[in-house]
Amino acid sequence: MDTAELEKLKYPTGKYTPPEKIKKSEVKRWIREIDKLPKRLKDTVKSLSEVQLDTPYRDGGWTVRQTIHHLADSHMNAYSRFRLALTEENPTIKPYMEAKWAELIDAKTAPVKYSLDLLKNLHKRWVMLLKTLDKDQLKKTYFHPDKNADQKLDGVIGLYAWHSNHHLAHIENLKKKMNWN
């Protein structure tokens, strides 16, 4: 497999590149995408067998099950980071080793229903919060030590809309490749 093919498998929707200037309409669109993820994800995986859930989306990649649990882990962290940024002055967030989290036994074996239910309810609260943010709150930041940079909440909303679609595309592409539709 050449480098371009591997990049397409790793980043089926491309890498996230925030717009230079973020418009209010983009933030609203991103919030809608975050809002839709739990249902779209549930609909995408509802007919998959246990064997299919334990199939990696690419060689060396996570299984569908690990990807679903990763989305829950990642979005729980994101929700907490938003709340920290909204209640503290540019807090330093705690990064986590997502690849190691994906190797923990619950990420590898727990029923996907656990994370699908978690995402459904987490996203209800997260979207409720996101919809209330005014322009000053959207400019609030947290410091990400792994990136050595402040992250503005408006751009982070875009990142998590992308993240939602990115991992959903991994699963959808695998289903097409394996003819699981």
pLDDT tens per residue across span 62-101: 999 999 999 999 999 999 999 999 999 999 999 999 999 9
In this structure, the number of other CB atoms found within 10 A of the CB of residue 72 comes to: 21
pTM: 0.96
Residue 101's closest CA among 80, 123, 71? 71
Helix, strand, coil tally for the chain in percent (to 5): 65, 5, 30
Look up residue 47 and give its two tokens: 């007919």
Residues in the chain predicted with pLDDT less than 70, given as ranges, are: none
